[in-house]
Structure 1
Amino acid sequence: MALEITKELIENVEDLILNKKDVALNDFFAETHHADIAEVLEELSFDDAIYIIRLLDSETTADVLMDVDEDVREKIFERLSSKEIAEEIEELDTDDAADVIAELPEERKQEVIQKIEDKEHAKEIVELLRYDEDTAGGLMAKELVKVNENWNVLTCVKEMRLQAEEVTRVHSIYVVDSDGKLKGRLSLKDLLMASTRSKIADVYIPKVDFVNVHDKAEDIANVMMKYDLEAIPVVDELGVLVGRITIDDIVDVIKEEADKDYQLAAGITQDVEAGDSIIQLTKARLPWLFLGLIGGIGAFLIMGEFEHTFKKHAFLFFFTPLIAAMAGNVGVQSSAIIVQGLANDDVKGSIKNRLVKEMLLALLNGVVLAIFLFLFVLAYERDFMKALAISVSLIVVIVVAGLIGTFIPLFLDKRGIDPAIATGPFITTSNDIFGILIYFLIAQLILGV
């Protein structure tokens, strides 16, 4: 059960720290999950957090430091020596250790690596640091259990026991040849049922999903979600097994991508958090706000061109917000569905087919809404032509907005640009402008102004 972080709990911890009640603190945190300890540290003063880090054993604090906020971790590391950081790093799996070291300044990074006593561990961390963080190589851990196809079952079990000591959790047992190339996976049931003299080559399952070290994180997430995998092996260009990626790393990837897409959809161009400085937040928000300003000026200029129409049919002005809002809403809906489909790899077929489908969908929605609007305007104005002009405009605006909302994210995706951009102010602003222009052109045409 999760620990409830209350004001009383924090005050109690602060009191124990103030009175140097180390035994009581150790007893309390011994029964507390490292994720909850991380939350407690984030609520404490910086000096108190450092006190706890230095009090607890390295195995516990290593897990805690992985869970605390990145900014908090950065400040903690500023107060710890390179040797102290290295002691924490040694308790982490290679993938987590590489992530932590990557956050350090370049000079400090080298110092910490040199202080790691387990040179094999340090070597593996350095290897992982060479890969881009958004690739399989940057996500994978070196810790895994692998067996040679030429071993017999008895030798295999002995080797597995030795390897398992270095692995936090054994998800799968991978089979390699004498060159280290991935051949398949080993079922624990098949291993237990086989004779101790049987060769692994006669027992293992050759079918195994795997990824290349240079595969993108998003592609790996799609593969693991599609096949419900808890872990997936990683091979290099020669097919040699070099690591594995576990589901917890993929959950982090999915969350980060969702956060980024959400911010892009909201018109925020950089990865920012609520605690960032005003300058950082301004830099992230201002570009799209400026685009909205330009869009508003564009709408003003378009409306200015139809001043004569306004003078003769002033009622058109009052429906302008409705048309603009419907255009923006439909565009965002269409783009959101496409972006979601692209993210889940569900969008198949040509752009043409997608546009035709969206046009038919928008047309159906537009007709239903236009009928309601037509009846309202007719009842309110008692003028058939006015009601016809506004309702026809609404249908066309909705169809065009749907097409734009579908085409833009597909186009951006083809160009290698994150299509999530298309679900925010970009679509809303562009559809507002097109919507107003179409509205007045059709109204002018039908009303004969």
Structure 2
Amino acid sequence: MTPFKLTDELLEQIKQLIADNDTQELRSMMQEFHYADVAEIANELSVEEATYLIKLLDSETTSDVLTEMDEDVREAVLNNLSAKEIAEELEELDTDDAADIVGELPKEIVQEVISEIEDREHAKDIVDLLRYDENSAGGLMAKELVKVNENWTVLNCVGEMRKQAENVTRVHSIYVVDDEGKLKGRLSLKDLLTASTKTHIRDIYIPKVDSVNVNEKPEEVAKIMQKYDLEAIPVVDEIGRLVGRITIDDIVDVIKEEADKDYQMAAGISQDVEADDSIWELTRARLPWLILGLLGGLGAAAIMGGFEEMISQHAILFFFTPLIAAMAGNVGVQSSAIIVQGLANDDLKGSIGNRLVKEMLLALLNGLILAVLLLLFTWVWKGTFNTAVAISLSLVVVIVVAGLVGTFIPLFLHKRNIDPAIATGPFITTSNDIFGILIYFWIAKLILGI
């Protein structure tokens, strides 16, 4: 199968079909595309054109397309649909996707949309999901699943499973509950098929099953599913009742969103933005860290001003200032990036003290190697041994301090329940620039005796 590629020619052809109101040709063309490809097309159309395309398709396809569209485009399209039209799309979606869309609607029309959903059980499940924090397992889960009672016989169980499976896109697992709805375990399809029809489920189910609480953070759910290679995981409430399940496709979205957020924070962007956002939104996201960088630069300039006499006597020190600042920033970012990655993957073991000692030894080894190279270069270039020693020794100390700062800050933030990804960007770079320049000139002053 050839991967879909949205070309300018194809987009213009679709726009022309919309302009000509050629519904038959347009509908025939859309049937050849995957719903994710249709969503990609809709994202590039105007709101009116995207709305036209959405109304043209059948409800089942439209509902899938809506889940794949960019949030801002979807919001604009939904504003052009009636409450009844939105309800028809929601009925085709799993409850978790439906709840996500309802959560984006203006509050004044939510009740109207819910009342238009004909499947009242589906509507009840959507409303139930809306009460959970979106940044929790409850806000991520879907209600569709297959569960059986431990007191049922195999014969009864099969009949009930057939009814439930009609509303489930894919059956990853069969969960077993007691009379109060509490999760007891899972049922192997093989055991179900090979057991006597009179056998009770309690005699054949597997009691060991991984689950998460409704209040668990999505990032923690992702770690559990990744660790145990799960395609789906059941969600229980505060008293252990089975209330839903989270599937791997939802977790992939969580991992992508978390990676995007961490990448932006590491780059010095303080809020979630995209390239197509307005100039004002992009400015608000970037400006705070740029101001921090400006303050850091002013601080470094003030430090250098305090050593003005020494710089005037040894001008070569000035030439190496960018090198010292750059090495401090680079080492700090490297150290913090490794720690943040380890925290995200839950791979860090041992105490903070041991981690700092290890990082100090690593930074010392790297610093000594780089310092030797710098010493030889400076000595050959300028022929002043004391100056070369001062610059090289400063580099070693700066690298060690930068490594410790880059290690300690994300660990400290993590202990305070602050996202440590904030430490991998301008925060570390700016702080290490200031520390690096201060250490550089202070050591040079001691060695050169000024």
Please give the TM-score of this superposition, normalised by the length of structure 2: 0.98
- Structure 2 distance, partners of 1:20, 1:430, is 60
Q: Give 1:339-358 correspondences, 5 Å limit.
A: 339-358=340-359
Structure 1 residue runs without a partner (length 5+): none
Per-residue CA deviations over 1:97-125 (Å, capped at 9, x if unaligned) read 01001011111222211211111111111
Match of 2:108 in 1: 107
Deviates more, 1:260-269 or 1:37-46: 37-46
Deviates most, 57-66 or 340-349: 340-349
Between 1:95-104 and 1:149-158, the stretch displaced more is: 149-158
Q: Which residue of 2 is the match for residue 271 of structure 1?
A: 272
Residue type of the alignment partner of 1:81: S
Q: CA deviation at 1:16?
A: 2.7
**Equivalents in 1 of 2:195, 2:120: separation in Å?**
37
Confirm or deny that 1:283 pairs with 2:281. Answer: no
Equivalent residue number for residue 397 of structure 1: 398
The 5 Å alignment of 1:395-434 reads 395-434=396-435
Residue type matched to 2:46 in 1? Answer: S
**Residues in 1 aligned to 2:102 and 2:372: alpha-carbon distance in whole angstroms:** 62
Partner of 1:191: 192
The residue type paired with residue 212 of structure 1 is N
Aligned to 1:330: 331
Distance 2:166 2:94 in 1: 12
5 Å-filtered alignment, 1:203-222, equals 203-222=204-223
Q: How does 1:108-257 map to 2 (within 5 A)?
A: 108-257=109-258
- Which residue does 1:49 correspond to in 2? 50
RMSD of aligned C-alpha atoms? 1.0
Q: Secondary structure at the match of 2:246?
A: strand
What is the CA-CA distance between 1:56 and the residue it aligns to?
0.8
- Residue by residue, what CA displacement relative to the aligned partner does 1:244-288 show, whole Å, maximum 9, x if unpaired? 000011111111111111111111111111111111111111111
Letter in 2 for 1:410: L
| Alignment partners' CA distance in 2, 1:14 and 1:329 | 49
Match in the other structure for 1:447: 448
Q: Does 1:312 align with 2:313?
A: yes
Deviation at 1:46, TM superposition (A): 2.4
Structure 1 CA distance for aligned equivalents of residues 183 and 229 of structure 2 = 20
TM-score normalised by structure 1 residue count:
0.98
Per-residue deviation, 1:26: 2.2
Cα separation, 2, equivalents of 1:269 and 1:131: 26
Hey, what's the Cα distance between the residues in 1 that align with 2:100 and 2:49? 25
- What's the CA shift string for 1:188-242, capped at 9, x where partnerless? 1121121222111111111100000001111101101111110000000110000
**Counterpart amino acid of 1:380?**
W
**C-alpha distance in 1, partners of 2:178/2:394?**
68
Question: In the aligned structure 2, how far is the partner of 1:47 from the partner of 1:20?
Answer: 13
Matched with 2:296 is: 295
How big is the shift at 1:15?
3.1
The alpha carbon displacement at 1:70 in A equals: 0.6
Match of 1:13 in 2: 14
- SS in structure 1 of the partner of residue 259 of structure 2: helix
**Secondary structure class of the residue paired with 1:146:** strand
Structure 2 residues not aligned, in runs of 5+: none
SS at match of 1:169: coil
Name the counterpart of 2:34: 33
In 1, Cα distance between equivalents of 2:422 and 2:16: 49
Give, in angstroms, the shift of residue 32 of structure 1: 1.5
In structure 2, the residue corresponding to 1:348 is in which secondary structure?
A: coil
Count the aligned residue pairs. Answer: 449
1-side partners of 2:360 and 2:319: how far apart? 27
Tell me if 1:97 matches 2:105: no
Aligned residue for 2:184, secondary structure, equals strand
The whole-number CA distance in structure 2 between the counterparts of 1:249 and 1:272 is 21
